[in-house]
């Protein structure tokens, strides 16, 4: 699906002088530098038949880098993305990049539901580009026109095209506060929130700290128990889930430990080497997606390289990693709060360590839990039709709350 199917650019909302169209493009010098670095990559050795068992498959990455240097057409992808309704908005002291795609008006004069979609790592607004037309114009895609949304997809500070904070990175709760302010700037008093990964936590804090504004919240995960939780108080399935999560962390969580503790060390190499940057991101795309080990079953090469090129051109790999450190410092009492806003969860089969129902009930006022047949951690990109259907069905009962 082409991103050009989403709404075309439109003026910023009246009365919001801090919102302005986004028109940035990469320069020829930046692209020449990228290609020169790719062609000069100094490759590591790899044990015979290592494949993906030790991290990135170097043989696959070499093919990807060759295509990135001599086949990938970034200007064409950039032009396609610029056909989206993209803006910059001044929120506090930061310029925030966002997509603000307005709905095709539902029949009968009903107001569309405003919806903020919250991304995670290692992505950006990229995560949601495929679902935009499905949410803003459902009638054109075989769904009920009454399920249309006004969709807002901001890049978190230090991610994508948003400003990189000059001081400490904001945590998920601080980002939720920024998004509440952003929605006010855009003229929305009440809205829905949805997200996954770090975006799940941002959505959670929107519901916790702004329950008078968030009509309902949809998430694809529920986070880990607060450090103060007593395992003896947990159900058997929760305890089993904790063991699974610990095993996953031991086998797959080294990246997060680096992000929490020494992000600047890794950032030096990843900011200097586009091949290194691709290795850091591509390995996670494969490991966390419902692709059966075949990365390109879920993503075309151009789609992978669109994400990685955005990280390269914006220089945000270091600033994005630092958010892990900020979130690790959140007080335990914040992690233990229960969401009382109506909550829904879509647990995709290929996602990371899916939480049990008991965990969801313990931490949120659950009104809906589903298990779609396909999709992983990046379900909105992997399976946009399924993800859009999940959002339409979950938010349908709450539309009257914004009328």
pLDDT in tens, 259-315: 999 999 999 999 999 999 999 999 999 999 999 999 999 999 999 999 999 999 999
Three-class DSSP category at 115: strand
Residue from 119, 210, 259, 377 carrying the catalytic annotation: 377
What is the reported pLDDT for 109? 78
Residue from 128, 299, 324, 381 carrying the catalytic annotation: 324
| Cα(45)–Cα(58) distance, integer angstroms | 8
Domain assignment of residue 387, yes or no: yes
What is the reported pLDDT for 9? 41
Catalytic residue list contains 197: yes
pTM: 0.94
Residue 245 sits in which domain range? 3-22+34-41+52-402
List the pLDDT tens digit at each of the 403 positions of the chain: 344 444 444 444 444 458 999 999 999 999 999 999 999 999 999 999 999 999 999 999 999 999 999 999 999 999 999 999 999 999 999 999 999 999 999 888 788 999 999 999 999 999 999 999 999 999 999 999 999 999 999 999 999 999 999 999 999 999 999 999 999 999 999 999 999 999 999 999 999 999 999 999 999 998 766 665 677 888 899 899 989 999 999 999 999 999 999 999 999 999 999 999 999 999 999 999 999 999 999 999 999 999 999 999 999 999 999 999 999 999 999 998 999 999 999 999 999 989 999 999 999 999 999 999 999 999 999 999 999 999 999 999 999 877 6
Domain assignment of residue 47, yes or no: no
Q: What are phi and psi of 366, to 5 degrees?
A: -85, 130
Domain assignment of residue 70, yes or no: yes
Domain assignment of residue 29, yes or no: no
| Cα(335)–Cα(296) distance, integer angstroms | 36
What is the reported pLDDT for 1? 37
Three-class DSSP category at 376: strand
What is the reported pLDDT for 282? 98
pLDDT in tens, 382-397: 999 999 999 999 999 9
What is the DSSP-derived secondary structure letter of residue 125?
Answer: G
Catalytic residue list contains 137: no
What is the reported pLDDT for 106? 82
What is the reported pLDDT for 401? 78
Q: What is the CATH number of the domain that holds 366?
A: 3.40.50.1820
Q: Starting from the edge strand earliest in sequence, which strands make up the sheet with 113-118, in order? A: 19-21, 86-91, 94-101, 149-154, 113-118, 191-195, 214-219, 339-346, 364-370
Domain assignment of residue 28, yes or no: no
Q: What are phi and psi of 3, to 5 degrees?
A: -65, -20
Three-class DSSP category at 121: coil
Nearest Cα neighbor of 54 from 245, 281, 251, 299 is: 251
| Cα(197)–Cα(222) distance, integer angstroms | 9
Is the four-CA dihedral 258, 262, 267, 268 of positive or negative sign?
negative
Beta strand spans in 160-258 (E): 191-195, 214-219
| Cα(190)–Cα(184) distance, integer angstroms | 9
Number of domains the chain contains:
1
Pairing of strands 86-91, 94-101: antiparallel
Residue from 123, 197, 221, 351 carrying the catalytic annotation: 197
Contact status, residue 195 vs residue 346, Cβ threshold 8 Å = no
Domain assignment of residue 231, yes or no: yes
Catalytic residue list contains 381: no
| Cα(382)–Cα(123) distance, integer angstroms | 13
């Amino acid at each position: 699906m082409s991103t050009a199917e989403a709404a075309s650019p439109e003026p910023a909302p009246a009365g919001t002088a801090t919102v302005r169209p986004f028109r940035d493009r990469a320069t020829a010098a930046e692209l020449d530098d990228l290609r020169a670095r790719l062609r000069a990559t100094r490759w590591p050795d790899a044990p015979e038949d290592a494949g993906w068992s030790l991290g990135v498959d170097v043989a696959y990455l070499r093919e990807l880098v060759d295509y990135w240097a001599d086949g990938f057409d970034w200007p064409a992808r950039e032009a396609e993305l610029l056909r989206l309704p993209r803006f910059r908005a001044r929120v506090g002291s930061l310029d925030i990049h966002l997509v603000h795609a307005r709905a095709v008006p539902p029949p009968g004069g009903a107001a569309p539901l405003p919806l903020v979609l919250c991304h995670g790592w290692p992505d950006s607004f990229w995560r949601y580009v495929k679902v935009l037309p499905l949410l803003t114009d459902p009638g054109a895609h075989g769904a009920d026109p009454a399920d249309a949304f006004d969709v807002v997809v901001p890049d978190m500070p230090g991610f994508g095209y948003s400003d990189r904070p000059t001081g400490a990175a904001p945590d998920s709760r601080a980002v939720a506060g920024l998004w509440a302010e952003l929605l006010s700037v855009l003229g929305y008093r009440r809205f829905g929130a949805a997200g996954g990964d770090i975006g799940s936590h941002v959505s959670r804090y929107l519901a916790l700290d702004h329950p008078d504004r968030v009509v309902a919240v949809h998430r694809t995960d529920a986070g880990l128990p607060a450090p103060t939780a007593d395992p003896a108080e947990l159900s058997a399935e929760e305890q089993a889930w904790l063991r699974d999560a610990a095993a996953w962390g031991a086998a797959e969580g080294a990246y997060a430990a680096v992000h929490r503790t020494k992000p600047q060390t890794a950032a030096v190499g990843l900011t200097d080497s586009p091949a290194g940057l691709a290795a850091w991101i591509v390995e996670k795309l494969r490991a966390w997606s419902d692709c059966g080990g075949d990365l390109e079953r879920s993503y075309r090469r151009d789609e992978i390289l669109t994400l990685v090129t955005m990280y390269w051109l914006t220089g945000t790999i270091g600033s994005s990693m630092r958010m892990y450190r900020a979130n690790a410092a959140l007080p335990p009492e914040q992690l233990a709060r229960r969401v009382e806003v109506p909550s829904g969860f879509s647990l995709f089969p290929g996602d990371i360590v899916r939480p049990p129902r008991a965990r969801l009930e313990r931490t949120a006022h659950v009104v809906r839990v589903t298990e779609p047949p396909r999709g992983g951690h990046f379900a909105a990109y992997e399976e946009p039709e399924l993800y859009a259907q999940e959002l339409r069905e979950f938010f349908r009962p709450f539309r009257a709350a914004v009328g």
